[in-house]
Amino acid sequence: MTIGALIYGAVALYAIGLVLYLLKREQLSFGALGIGFAAHTAYQIWRAWLGGVFIPNGMVDGVFLLPWAIAGVIILLRLFGDRGTGWLSGLVPLVIFGVFALVYPKGMIPPTPNKLTLWAPTFFFTEAIGHACFYLGAWYALQSIINKSETGAFHMVVVWGFVAYSLSQIVGAIWAYNGWATTFRWGSRHLQSAVIWCFYATYLHLRYMPGWGMRARARYAAVGFVVVALCTFGSHLNEMRFPRIGG
Amino acid sequence: MKRIWNFLGDVRVTFWLLIAIMATMYAGSLLASIDYKLFDGMNGRAVQDWFLETGITRLAYTAWVPFLFALFGAFGINTVACTSSRFVAVLARRRSLSVRRLLVLLSPSLIHVIFLVILAGHFATFVVIEQVRAPLSEKGRFELPDKSGLTVEKIEYENFPDSSRLAGRVSQVRVALLPDGGGGERVVTEFTRPASYRGYDLHLDMMRKRENRDAPRPAQATPMPKKSNIDDETCNKEKLYHIGHFKPTNRPELYLVATRDPGLPLLAIGFAIMLSVMGFYFANYRSAE
């Protein structure tokens, strides 16, 4: 058994946490989430040595970093967010993305020299935080629609996601210029990143529009789940065919 | 006049413009994934030159590009109108507000102004960028658009350690260049650490072996694959750009890219101020309420 197996343990703990949450054992559920997150963190750090030499890019592969970021955001929300909001229901998308990580090729795509810069992991890290907040924001928005809640708890998650995602776009532009001599490349990856940014920029303007109350905004935020998935999973699925090392 | 101004700055116009921009960019992203090579030709070129030369011959694939620019133009006008109206409204209340509260209330408007600066920077990049790319070889000469030249003095390859799983793969390349006449200072450029010379940024890039059949190639370069191999549908994919030249047995073929991008200073200033204002806003907006 290697450290690489920790990802299986982490996802199993997330699943156990979800079952406990459904059984209304919130403290135990949070405990399972915390231990799973610790195991997942160890796995992410271990990934930096997938090439047999330390390369931080391995730690920030989106498919594996996304569930880690979701778990981290849920923990922060549970610790510092409003009480009684049901943050732990975020275990549902967490388990879904965790299972996807389990079936995904675990190795690292051999990095090209223009990816061996700290801008690259910084970009992927901030992007994953943004995606995590968007998915969770969409999930909590869906919950608020189902529960007919008017608290708008999802809004704060989406706003922080927008901040992290905007930061990733700035970092990504700097990296793109240093690595490829242009801040924006006319390709599907950059265009779809811009689509996500525009979607959430639109969301932020909804509160100033007549007829867009909390429930309407919740519906819009919930659609964000599909938008982010459509704009990111294409490249994840495409990269499944790439040669990889380690893992 | 006021009605027109109010319409131009209406947040509902913002909403629909953003929706249209999203839809256009998403459609464009799908087309770019179908024909990566077509759209890769836009990178590093003035978009109008690319469109008049290449885009116009494939309008079914490229019509979204001018449409996107038109939408962004309208979005820029909408942002100017909306932001200036809000600025005026907030400043009218300045006597009843503390300085901190006033700054917090002005921050979103300021972010919009900076966003316009960033948008202008991207626009300048897209329409005025000057970029040349040419292969590099030891002792070879590279000519910049202003006709000055650089001679390659030395190319140093750095590989991943032999003990690693990445053994034999290139991790960094260092290229030393001497200006024409030999009197100037040596210029050294590396991957992700571009050098500056006569107003140009000098980046390294690698040969996209299969796709760029028509690109100029050094005499000692490996022959390109036969046409039947490079034009099949699996070859025109992004992944070949990504990994095609990274087989351990196949040393990447180097290119030097000289770029003069007038949009870059606007972007750099815009990004720096945007981060500062966003940081100030989020640190203060609760306490100022």
Contact B238 A239 (CB under 8 A): no
B51: in domain: yes
Question: What's the average model confidence in pLDDT over B159-175?
Answer: 92
**From the list A175, A182, A245, which residue is nearest B43 (CB)?**
A182
pLDDT in tens, B50-72: 999 999 999 999 999 999 999 99
Half-sphere exposure of A68 (CA within 13 A, CB side): 25
Whether B124 and B6 map to the same domain: the answer is yes
3-state secondary structure of B254: strand
**From the list B131, B165, B261, which residue is nearest A52 (CB)?**
B165
Specify the pLDDT at position A150. Answer: 78
A247: in domain: no
Whether B123 and B41 map to the same domain: the answer is yes
How close B289 gets to chain A, by Cα (Å)? 16
Q: Which residue has the higher pLDDT, B239 or A78?
A: A78
> Per-residue b/e over B76-96, b at no fewer than 16 CB within 10 Å?
bebbebbbebbbeebeeeeee
Looking at the predicted structure, is the pLDDT value of residue B245 above 70? no
B177: in domain: yes
Number of domains in chain B: 2
| B287 confidence band (pLDDT: 50, 70, 90) | low
- The domain in which residue A202 lies consists of 3-106+115-239
Specify the pLDDT at position B229. Answer: 38
Whether B9 and B112 map to the same domain: the answer is yes
Question: What's the average model confidence in pLDDT over B135-141?
Answer: 90
Specify the pLDDT at position A212. Answer: 93
| B251 confidence band (pLDDT: 50, 70, 90) | low
Whether B70 and B152 map to the same domain: the answer is no
Distance CA A207, CA A222 (A): 15
How close B65 gets to chain A, by Cα (Å)? 10
Any CB–CB contact under 8 A between B64 and chain A? no
A245: in domain: no
Secondary structure string (H, E, C) spanning A115-127: HCCCHHHHHHHHH
Question: What's the average model confidence in pLDDT over B114-136?
Answer: 95
Contact A192 B206 (CB under 8 A): no
* pLDDT, averaged across chain A: 94
Specify the pLDDT at position B286. Answer: 67
Any CB–CB contact under 8 A between B287 and chain A? no
Please say whether the beta carbons of B18 and A202 come within 8 A. Answer: yes
Please say whether the beta carbons of B204 and B257 come within 8 A. Answer: yes
Number of domains in chain A: 1
CB pairs under 8 A between A and B: 159
Specify the pLDDT at position B207. Answer: 67
* Backbone CA torsion sign across A228, A230, A232, A233: positive
How close A88 gets to chain B, by Cα (Å)? 25
How close B245 gets to chain A, by Cα (Å)? 9
Distance CA A83, CA A79 (A): 9
Question: What's the average model confidence in pLDDT over B107-124?
Answer: 95
Q: Does residue B20 come out as left (phi exceeding 0), alpha (psi in the -120 to 50 range) or beta?
A: alpha
Looking at the predicted structure, is the pLDDT value of residue B232 above 70? no
Question: What's the average model confidence in pLDDT over A56-70?
Answer: 96
Please say whether the beta carbons of B243 and B258 come within 8 A. Answer: no
- The domain in which residue B72 lies consists of 2-130+265-284
